Structure 1
């Protein structure tokens, strides 16, 4: 049994190297090394359990590691050796594990997960989702190893967001966190997703259905548009979306290069569609007239409906909703509600349901069937679109429409 604690702080401070290295034992494999330049370092010397070879490991300088701390470290290493564990190999393994954990932090896995979404989701959707994680999740969980994340930890991250009343944000963040954890499972980094079901512990956001007018209210809508004191370009945009039945972001981003007047079709490329699938919109005589009405304003630009203040950019997708609010229709309909109005009206009039769905670019899960619907129903959709435009025009009789050519000159004067 080795005699321990041979050294004292006073004796260590008095030690000097006289032209050569001095090594003093404290017992139990702990040594103090004094170099010729009088710097002092701790060493732990031992015999490797497996190979039987003698080796040593540095414990730090006397200036940074006290005698008491050096003895604690040496005691830990002696206990490991008694269990057949090589201290140096143990430390190396711990470093490897730590480095692996840092390489597989929640942030790193989220970045990898995000890359799998590119090409499958719209860049704006990816950006919006990432911003949610940046604002509410990464500050706490970003550096945490994926293996250490548990349901209670994740719930605590979202509790403050719930307290702020941002229940929809809590729900979405919970979904995104689960997606990242499922990616980690599929990557073989964890055996199961511990966050499944965490959204059940939070208050549920109140479901609010999109506001939309009933078919009988179309005259009220057209009269409101007719009497509204709004920018001419916005008026054109409102009627363009109403006639084309597309989602709000799609008409706002309309480009002249997407329009083929000769073939009477508007081809929206996949990257601008919700489901990354090209959508062809048959143009009616009214929609073509709308384009001709707005051409003097934007025909020389990329976008049909440019921003009023940044003309090289498309107008914002919320432009129509803001205008509807100023028109007193905030609680009656939305830009997206135009689609519901069209869908309900067309179905009530007995048009082919699947052709109506194709006109609305609703998702068909069967890809072969979806392709069939896009081609087979295109002729039917032309008739549907023209009927819908005529239906709008019929209820706008006696009121102003941008495609009434006799009013075009007056409309253009208003924009100057």
Structure 2
């Protein structure tokens, strides 16, 4: 059995007259099997409980490269040190009760999702829906190749790079879940680098003209979509939390929206003062959805909140001609424009319900329970006045917020 330092060039060009196995001098146990037909495959030879065993890594390809085979050997070596037996586990896997992708997703949803927050569960379900549509749900999960996962994610990345990253994380979790149950032998969705899909903070803030064009298109949408978008621009709250707004959480007398901690990303009860502009929308919707639990009731599912506004977002983007319009940009625009009219960072942070306040240390944040209720109300009222100025073109005097001592 020839032994030499395997190189990528050697592996790709080597030819033999009879079936030959080459052992890698640099990675103990790694071997390359070459047949006269040109077929090449990597294997790993190791000892387990005094016996010599052999594990088939895979055929040489664009996916199973020499570097990938060496990485696989290192993973198996560590696994064996911990008492694992790759060949024996693969045998058990071959005898396992195989699952289709759809069946694996069903069990993953049933056993993993209940551990997540309700809002996170909903996001997972939406992205799992993408997976069911983008990959063959009736194919055995063991039969998927890594390149299929990459091709699917690349397709998603074309229109939704951040969503592609989130879906990749779910797929990695799914394959780990499946590996633990011997439905697959490895996590083929792990450590996939999506070029240019790295989640990064956008800096898109809309101009006065863009805000007017967007508002104009908001008003052409059917209810409750129209009012959802308007409320997002008036209050600057998160889309998911706004869509779940309940009538029981609205105090018209105090002009206050109390978001229960179960519905907030930050996990705390959030108090949002309501300027007159927001109250007008609520009063308009009351005859339509007042008998429902939710302010923005779903038009297709009675007594449920509206869930999907992405299609409306695409329509608005196209008709308003506001390039790259995204729902979350409304929240960023509100935050930036409020800062421009001298809203103190601590107050702005409280309005946005960030877990880390606008200024001061994290330790200060733990003890700072003051909610800036009046300052928040003043700031949102000032933003409502500024928004009216933008929409109507009429100037209005805005007074600075008095900072609390």
Scaled by the length of structure 1, the TM-score of the pair is 0.54
> Conserved in 2, the CA contact under 8 Å of 1:324 and 1:334?
no
Matched residue count: 294
1:318 aligned partner = 310
For residue 297 of structure 2, the aligned residue among 303, 306, 315 is 306
User: Matched residues in 1 for 2:222 and 2:151: separation?
Assistant: 44
Judging changes above 3 Å, is the alpha-carbon distance between structure 1 residues 256 and 383 closer, same or farther for their aligned structure 2 residues? same
Deviations 1:338-384 (A, max 9, x none): 21111112223332323312312334499987665664333432222
> Conserved in 2, the CA contact under 8 Å of 1:223 and 1:396?
no
User: Matched residues in 2 for 1:181 and 1:227: separation?
Assistant: 43
2:345 aligned partner = 353
Q: Does 1:396 align with 2:394?
A: no
User: Matched residues in 1 for 2:241 and 2:365: separation?
Assistant: 20
Q: Tell me, what secondary structure is at the counterpart of 1:296? A: helix
Deviations 1:224-263 (A, max 9, x none): 6358762574544333221111123333332212211123
Q: Tell me, what secondary structure is at the counterpart of 1:362? A: coil
Alpha-carbon offset, residue 287 of structure 1: 1.7
1:28-177 → structure 2 map (5 Å cutoff): 97=92, 101-102=96-97, 111=107, 115-121=111-117, 122=119, 123-135=121-133, 136=135, 139-140=138-139, 142=141, 144=142, 154-161=145-152, 164=155, 168=161, 171-177=165-171
1:221 aligned partner = 211
Q: Give 5+ residue unaligned stretches, structure 1.
A: 1-92, 400-416
Judging changes above 3 Å, is the alpha-carbon distance between structure 1 residues 194 and 288 closer, same or farther for their aligned structure 2 residues? closer
> Conserved in 1, the CA contact under 8 Å of 2:255 and 2:274?
yes
Deviations 1:262-297 (A, max 9, x none): 232112234544455443211123222322233233
Higher relative contact order (CA 8 A, sep 6+): 1
For residue 253 of structure 1, the aligned residue among 225, 238, 244 is 244
2:43 aligned partner = none
User: Matched residues in 2 for 1:273 and 1:309: separation?
Assistant: 25
Judging changes above 3 Å, is the alpha-carbon distance between structure 1 residues 211 and 294 closer, same or farther for their aligned structure 2 residues? farther
Deviates more, 1:243-252 or 1:305-314: 305-314
1:286 aligned partner = 277
> Conserved in 1, the CA contact under 8 Å of 2:261 and 2:267?
yes
1:268 aligned partner = 259
Q: Give 5+ residue unaligned stretches, structure 2.
A: 1-87, 395-405
Judging changes above 3 Å, is the alpha-carbon distance between structure 1 residues 254 and 374 closer, same or farther for their aligned structure 2 residues? farther
Deviations 1:50-70 (A, max 9, x none): xxxxxxxxxxxxxxxxxxxxx
CA RMSD of aligned residues (A): 4.7
2:63 aligned partner = none
Q: Tell me, what secondary structure is at the counterpart of 2:320? A: coil
For residue 172 of structure 2, the aligned residue among 166, 170, 178 is 178
> Conserved in 2, the CA contact under 8 Å of 1:248 and 1:317?
no
